[in-house]
């Protein structure tokens, strides 16, 4: 024991940071020595008198440092036996890998779901943060309104009316930490109102079906064809239909005007509710964005939008604009769950919308993604038999694979073996079958990685199908 201390005493002296002051410096140096194992459990420390003399510091400083580390559990003091290093609690063995991290991603990523995070408008955001911190009253930093801050709800009501043709008021808008949370809350409310069944498009994201089931609802699926969701095939038991009209996820088709009218007709005839997931409606390339379906039937439609594509999913900000009769029930469900969204982030977004920066960023991003889409289409045009779907909008396309030659799984496996992550379409199919395909998220790569990702991906497909 004495050896351990004496071999450490000098190091301890050297580890003391003169800038910290004597007591804090000694405390820090001792804590680090215990943490690092330099002073193992059981080591007897010199008395405060001896250490103070060794270090040429006041004895009171040493006593205070010992007391503090005893209080923190690093040291033990027993009357008559001095101060020793406390035993260490058994630590659970570190798992060999992080179970939540998922499979290691290949270095190039063309999976769908992300915008180009390197184009996040950092300087603009920072400017808005400064303005908000200068102007927001202290009271804004409280829990706030569960529906979201009124300044953001006002800004969204104005923006959605102008940019997406949504008919709404600030009172009908609710802000959430992402669409996934919004959908879960909405399903909870529908269940509390006596709803039993929700219909989702087939194909669609399986996670959303799971969250409806979690809320206690039965789930039906409706096939999607070239005109979007086939309204004539909605399960008669369904009171709610969740749909992605502007750019079907994942097939990329737009709900035709005929089908829009049919869907609104279904809602009016049955008293049903349409949930419009407008996740990437701002991004349309070859003509004006297609306005929201909600504008045709504001009393029957819950409109959902998100900042996850226009800015970044890490912000966790999305919104619902619901018919007035649903706002109360959603709020009751929400009150049970207490999901709040950071008020500061809400105020920053409200500032960006109000100052026109949000629109400017979207206009710039539209050009950015259109150029990427064009490069992708040109590159894949050199691989025979690949057909692109859903190119008119959004940040992903479906690359349909030539039937019969290789399975989707084989193609995904080969592309990944070349270092590019892609996703197959089959994981999104529920009951229906369809041609094999890849969902190619051309928004995802950071700017420096886009060209390498595209070149490697195209070469991997050419290995399989050749070049024209």
Ligand X SMILES: Cc1ncc(COP(=O)(O)O)c(C=O)c1O
- The position carrying tokens 């992300």 is 114
CB of 313 to ligand X, least distance (A): 4
Among the candidate windows 12-20, 80-88, 172-180, 442-450, which touches ligand X by CB under 6 A? 172-180
Gap between the Cα atoms of 280 and 68, Å rounded: 55
Residue 295 as a binder of ligand X (CB under 6 A): the answer is no
Residue closer to ligand X by CB (options 106, 178) is 178
DSSP 3-state assignment of 111?
Answer: coil
Identify any residues that bridge with 431 across adjacent strands, giving them in sequence order: none
Burial classification of residue 385, based on how many CB atoms lie within 10 Å of its CB (0-12 exposed, 13-18 middle, 19 or more buried): middle
Q: Other C-beta atoms within 10 Å of 41: how many?
A: 12
Of these, 111, 164, 205, 372, which contacts ligand X (CB under 6 A)?
A: 205
Residue 109 as a binder of ligand X (CB under 6 A): the answer is no
> Terminal CA-to-CA distance of the chain, rounded, Å?
77
Residue closer to ligand X by CB (options 111, 372) is 111
Residue closer to ligand X by CB (options 279, 283) is 279
Gap between the Cα atoms of 339 and 86, Å rounded: 41
CB of 210 to ligand X, least distance (A): 14
CB-facing half-sphere around the CA of 316: CA atoms within 13 A: 10
Residue 57 as a binder of ligand X (CB under 6 A): the answer is no
Residue 180 as a binder of ligand X (CB under 6 A): the answer is yes
Gap between the Cα atoms of 32 and 100, Å rounded: 30
Residue 211 as a binder of ligand X (CB under 6 A): the answer is no
Gap between the Cα atoms of 231 and 225, Å rounded: 11
Among the candidate windows 74-82, 124-132, 173-181, 266-274, which touches ligand X by CB under 6 A? 173-181
Q: How far is CA 73 from CA 25, 36, 77, 86, in A?
A: 18, 15, 10, 7
Of these, 66, 74, 125, 179, which contacts ligand X (CB under 6 A)?
A: 179
- Cβ-based neighbours of 139, under 8 Å, separated by 6 or more: none
Residue closer to ligand X by CB (options 29, 251) is 251
Gap between the Cα atoms of 52 and 62, Å rounded: 6
E strand or H helix that includes residue 150: helix 150-164
Q: How far is CA 179 from CA 171, 321, 337, in A?
A: 19, 12, 15
Residue closer to ligand X by CB (options 25, 178) is 178
The size of the interface with ligand X (CB under 6 A), counted in residues, is 13
Of these, 82, 272, 295, 313, which contacts ligand X (CB under 6 A)?
A: 313
Residue 219: closest CA among 247, 196, 248: 196
Residue 172 as a binder of ligand X (CB under 6 A): the answer is no
Among the candidate windows 132-140, 164-172, 178-186, 370-378, which touches ligand X by CB under 6 A? 178-186
The two beta strands, 218-225 and 240-243, are unpaired
User: Which residue's CB atom is positioned nearest to ligand X?
Assistant: 178
CB of 105 to ligand X, least distance (A): 16
CB of 179 to ligand X, least distance (A): 3
Residue 113 as a binder of ligand X (CB under 6 A): the answer is yes
Residue 194: closest CA among 239, 243, 234, 242: 239
Of these, 172, 244, 333, 444, which contacts ligand X (CB under 6 A)?
A: 244
Residue 444 as a binder of ligand X (CB under 6 A): the answer is no
Residue 249 as a binder of ligand X (CB under 6 A): the answer is yes
Residue 110: closest CA among 352, 395, 306: 395
Residue 318 as a binder of ligand X (CB under 6 A): the answer is yes
CB of 318 to ligand X, least distance (A): 4
Among the candidate windows 133-141, 174-182, 321-329, 444-452, which touches ligand X by CB under 6 A? 174-182
Residue 306 as a binder of ligand X (CB under 6 A): the answer is yes
The two beta strands, 240-243 and 173-176, are unpaired
Residue 178 as a binder of ligand X (CB under 6 A): the answer is yes
Residue 282 as a binder of ligand X (CB under 6 A): the answer is no
Interacting residues toward ligand X by CB under 6 A = 113, 178-180, 205, 244, 249, 277, 279, 306, 308, 313, 318
């Amino acid at each position: 024991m004495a050896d351990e201390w004496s071999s450490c005493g000098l190091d301890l002296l050297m580890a003391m940071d003169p800038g910290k002051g004597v007591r804090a410096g000694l405390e820090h140096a001792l804590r680090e020595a215990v943490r690092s194992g330099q002073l193992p459990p059981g080591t007897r420390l010199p008395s405060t008198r001896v250490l103070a003399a060794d270090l040429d510091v006041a004895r009171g400083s040493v006593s205070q440092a010992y007391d503090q580390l005893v209080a923190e559990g690093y040291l033990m003091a027993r009357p008559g036996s001095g101060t020793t290093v406390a035993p260490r609690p058994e630590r659970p063995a570190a798992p060999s890998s992080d179970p939540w991290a998922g499979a290691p991603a290949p270095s190039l990523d063309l999976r769908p779901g992300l915008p180009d995070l390197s184009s996040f408008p950092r300087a603009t955001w920072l400017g808005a943060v400064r303005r908000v911190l200068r102007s927001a009253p202290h009271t804004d930093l409280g829990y706030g309104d569960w529906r979201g801050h009124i300044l953001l709800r006002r800004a969204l009501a104005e923006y959605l009316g102008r940019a997406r043709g949504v008919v709404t008021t600030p009172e009908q808008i609710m802000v959430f930490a992402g669409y996934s949370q919004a959908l879960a809350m909405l399903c909870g409310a529908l269940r509390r109102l006596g709803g039993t069944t929700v219909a989702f498009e087939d194909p669609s994201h399986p996670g959303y079906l799971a969250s409806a089931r979690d809320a206690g609802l039965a789930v039906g699926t409706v096939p999607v064809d070239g005109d979007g969701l086939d309204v004539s095939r909605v399960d008669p038991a369904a009171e709610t239909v969740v749909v992605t009209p502007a750019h079907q996820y994942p097939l990329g088709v737009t709900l035709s005007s005929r089908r829009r009218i049919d869907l609104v007709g279904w809602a009016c005839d049955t008293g049903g509710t349409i949930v419009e997931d407008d996740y990437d409606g701002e991004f349309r390339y070859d003509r004006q964005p297609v306005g929201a379906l909600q504008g045709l039937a504001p009393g029957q439609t819950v409109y959902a939008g998100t900042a996850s594509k226009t800015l970044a999913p890490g912000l966790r900000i999305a919104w619902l604009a619901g018919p007035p009769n649903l706002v109360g029930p959603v709020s009751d469900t929400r009150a049970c769950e207490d999901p709040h969204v950071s008020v500061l982030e809400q105020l920053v977004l409200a500032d960006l919308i109000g100052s026109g920066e949000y629109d400017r960023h979207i206009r710039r991003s539209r050009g950015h993604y259109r150029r990427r889409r064009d490069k992708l289409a040109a590159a894949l045009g050199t691989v025979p038999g690949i057909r692109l779907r859903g190119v008119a909008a959004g940040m992903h396309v479906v690359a349909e694979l030539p039937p019969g030659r290789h399975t989707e799984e084989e193609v995904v496996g080969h592309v990944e073996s070349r270092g590019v992550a892609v996703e197959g379409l089959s994981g999104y199919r529920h009951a229906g079958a369809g041609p094999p395909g890849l969902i190619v998220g051309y928004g995802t790569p950071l700017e420096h990685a886009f060209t390498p990702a595209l070149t490697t991906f195209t070469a991997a497909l050419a290995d399989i199908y050749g070049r024209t």
